[in-house]
Each structure stands twice: as C-alpha cells, then as structure tokens.
Amino acid sequence: MKIGELSRRTGASIRALRYYEEQGLLAPTRLPSGYRIYDERSVATVHRIRVLLSAGLGTSAIAEILPNVYDDSVVLTGRCPELHEGLAVERARITKQIEDLEAARDILDSLIGRPLVITGG
Amino acid sequence: MKIGELSRRTGASIRALRYYEEQGLLAPTRLPSGYRIYDERSVATVHRIRVLLSAGLGTSAIAEILPNVYDDSVVLTGRCPELHEGLAVERARITKQIEDLEAARDILDSLIGRPLVITGG
DNA sequence: CTAAAGCCTCACATTGACGTGAGAGTCAAC
DNA sequence: GTTGACTCTCACGTCAATGTGAGGCTTTAG
C-alpha cells in the first residue's frame, strides 16, 4: 500500500510516517517513481511505534527495539545483554512514570471527588 | 527563603522556578533588591507542580488547578463547573496515558521476560 | 489526453519546559 | 571594603515529533 492508505489505517499522519522512516523505524520499498510501498506488517509496526512513543520512548530507543519484535514475537534480546539492560532501564522509567501519573491523578481526584466548597457550602 | 534554597529543597532548577513564576504558578515576594523570597508552602507547591508536569499537564492547566490546592486541601472546585469538567478531561487523559504505558511495558516485557533466542538458543 | 488526487523532496516553523551564557547588581564573610 | 557566592533580567538555544507550505513529478479516473 502507499503512504496515504497506511496513514488512514494507522492514524499516523503522512508526515509522521516519513519521519519514522527517516529515523529508521520503517523501511518501505520504493516504486521507480519514488513512491513508498508498505507491506501489511507495517500497520502493526506503526501501531507499536505509536504505543512506544506515547510511552515516552525516543525514536532511537524504538529503533533498537523494533527489529526484535519484527516477526511479531521473535526475540533476540538474549543475544545482547546491553540491549537487555537498556530495556530494563526503560521499563523502570515507565513504571515510575505510571506511579507519577497515579500521584497526579490523586491530586486531581482530590479536586474532583471531594468538592468541599468552603465559601458557604 | 531565596531561590537557591528552594531549588535545593525541591530539585527544581533555578531556571525552572523562575519559569514557574512566569507562568503564574508561583508568586514569591521580592526584596527591595529584586531577590525572590519564597515561603515554606512553596516547597509543597513546587512538588505538586512537578508531579502534575510529569503527568503531562501543561503549565496553564496547572495554573488553574493550583489555586484550588493552595491551602493544601481547600477545594473550591464545586463553585466552578467548567474547571470541574476540565479536570475530568485531564483525569481521563491521565488514565489513558497509564493504559498506554502499561501496553508499552508489556511490549518491553515480551522482550525482557521472554528472551527466546532463535539463532541457535 | 487531461484534470484531480496523491506523492515526492526540501526546509523552515512550532510547541513546551527548560538550558545557557551575558552583563550587572547584591549579599555574607572576613 | 573587597572578594566570592548568589541573584537579577534579557534573550537566544535546545530537543523531539511533528505541522506546513513551496515547487514539482506521478498515478488514476473518465
């Protein structure tokens, strides 16, 4: 499929898809005209990219991870302890981020759930 | 206390503290010299700011929330339904963000926890 | 064959929360 | 009263993931 369809099917903008390629996250083939051609797996790949991006991973970190998820569950991590460590670091970061978010949510809850009006209840 | 001490006690950089003031999140008094003077509550305020920032809230959203937390639990939200709605929106955003993070963490776990080496494991 | 879509490559603009000097005044200690 | 640490106000720089044209091919529908 061409970039427009992939964009529609993933929700990612065309600009974003080109950016992902530039960052080494996608490697579409090309028509003689230069048009990008994506295969079906690209749809899942883009979804994963977006999940990881929204989790705060940078494109470079994702670039290291993606090849390992490439075949949807083929994992090579065991062969690369450095990568394994890097992933653990990211995992810890995410866990802490979740805790921070829960703390922030608690603050909001203290405003939403307990509307204790004091200026004359 | 002056800005340096507040910085030390909160972990926020001096630049960040000035920025928070610029965004209306802090309102220190001033010495005739222009030096900023913060009270004790500022420490807690800055901590809350950082929690909410790390949760993805913008300074403008925080500016709307902070006055309501001002006295550490005095809530005025009941008087302002618009603010209440805004908070609910933020809360939903945070909850979704948490879910996204958990999804991302699952992806990482599939790499960390199941190091299925295929190249001759 | 032609017009409307769609796609291409630059390349500068944007947003948010700061970083990083520059140049200058101020406070604490000796 | 002078050094040295601290603080002040600009104001431009940064980083990451896009947005946004500009100018120009290509493909598709009729």
Please judge whether B105 and A94 are an interchain contact, meaning their C-beta atoms are less than 8 angstroms apart.
yes
> What DSSP string describes A59-84?
HHHHHHHHHHHTTSS---GGG-HHHH
CA distance B27 to A1: 55
Confidence band of A79 (pLDDT split at 50, 70, 90): low
How confident is the model over B62-92, as pLDDT tens digits? Answer: 988 877 655 444 445 445 666 677 788 888 8
Q: Which residue is closest, via its CA, to the C1' of D6?
A: B4
Q: How far is the CA of B5 from the C1' of C29 (A)?
A: 19
pTM (global) more than 0.85:
no
- The alpha carbon of A19 is separated from its chain's Cα centroid by a whole number of angstroms, namely 13
Query: In the predicted model, what is the mean pLDDT of residues A53-74?
Result: 74
Q: State how far residue A64 is from chain B, nearest Cα, in angstroms.
A: 12
Give the Cα separation of B106 and B104 in Å (integer). 5
Task: Give the per-residue pLDDT at B68.
Answer: 61
Contacts of B69 (CB under 8 A, 6+ apart): A107, A110, A111, B48, B75
Confidence of residue B118 (pLDDT cuts 50, 70, 90): very low
Q: What is the pLDDT of residues B7-33, one digit of tens each?
A: 999 999 999 999 999 999 999 999 999
C-beta of residue A38 within 8 angstroms of C-beta of residue B72: no
Q: Are B87 and B65 in contact (CB under 8 A)?
A: yes
CA distance linking residue A63 with residue A70, whole number of Å = 11
Taking the CA of residue A34 and the C1' sugar atom of nucleotide C17, their distance in angstroms comes to 39
